[in-house]
Amino acid sequence: MIFVLRIWKRGEKLTCSVENMYRYASFGQLYAAHDKISIGYAADDVADPNDMLAYYSQELID
């Protein structure tokens, strides 16, 4: 079970369960293995592993 607390709304809690967990050596491998909808992109978006640089530094990705 994963709990996510939204700091900006004190005490609000989102609860979800993980159904599958996948491990990849790189975001490139993850993107190649899944369709863009399943990893959070809209149908008209271009899915690019480099988008992860918005969340992770290059040092963390490498």
pLDDT tens track for 18-48: 888 899 999 999 999 999 999 999 999 999 9
Q: Does 4 map to a domain?
A: no
Taking residues 50-58, report their average pLDDT: 93
For residue 12, being part of any structural domain is answered with no
What's the pLDDT band for 9 if we cut at 50, 70, 90?
low
10 part of a folded domain: no
Model-level pTM? 0.68
Percent of the residues in the chain that have a pLDDT greater than 90, as a whole number:
60
User: Which single residue is written with the structure tokens 């490139």?
Assistant: 28
Q: Which domain holds residue 34?
A: 22-62
47: in domain: yes
| Structure-token pair, residue 38 | 């399943």
Q: Cite the DSSP H helix spans in the chain.
A: 27-33, 58-61
Q: Is residue 9 part of a domain?
A: no
Q: Is residue 29 part of a domain?
A: yes
Cα four-point dihedral sign 6, 51, 34, 62: negative
Q: 3-class DSSP state for residue 52?
A: helix
